[in-house]
Amino acid sequence: MPQITINYKKPETLKILKSLSKYLDFAITSTEKADDRLDDILVPGDKSLDVEALSEVITGMHIDAKELRRSAWKR
């Protein structure tokens, strides 16, 4: 059986193709690849972490959050 690959961006396109498949008698097989983005990786927090220990390291350094973000983007 001949096969084709259709790449689409909008989810509505898949819905339309599925409805057309009923009338035109063709099958749809989905081969979704895993996203390479790291946005969806969740790291569970450790509730037993003692944040007070970090205050000893940071205290007196006069760290500004805005300046810290700027310097991190320059790397």
pTM over cut 0.75: no
d(CA 49, CA 13) in angstroms, rounded, equals 47
Long-range interactions of 55-63: CB distance < 8 A, separation 24+ = none
Number of domains in the chain: 1
Per-residue pLDDT of the chain (75 residues; tens, 9 = 90+): 678 888 888 888 888 888 888 888 888 887 666 555 555 566 677 777 777 777 777 777 777 778 878 888 776
**Total Cβ atoms within 10 A of residue 17:** 14
Per-residue pLDDT, 21: 87
Any domain includes 36: no
Q: Tell me the residue ranges of DSSP E strands in the chain.
A: none
Instruction: Give the structural domain span for 11.
Output: 1-31
Per-residue pLDDT, 59: 74
Any domain includes 69: no
Nearest to 30 by CA among 46, 49, 11: 11
For the chain, the maximum distance between any two Cα atoms, rounded to a whole number of angstroms, is: 72
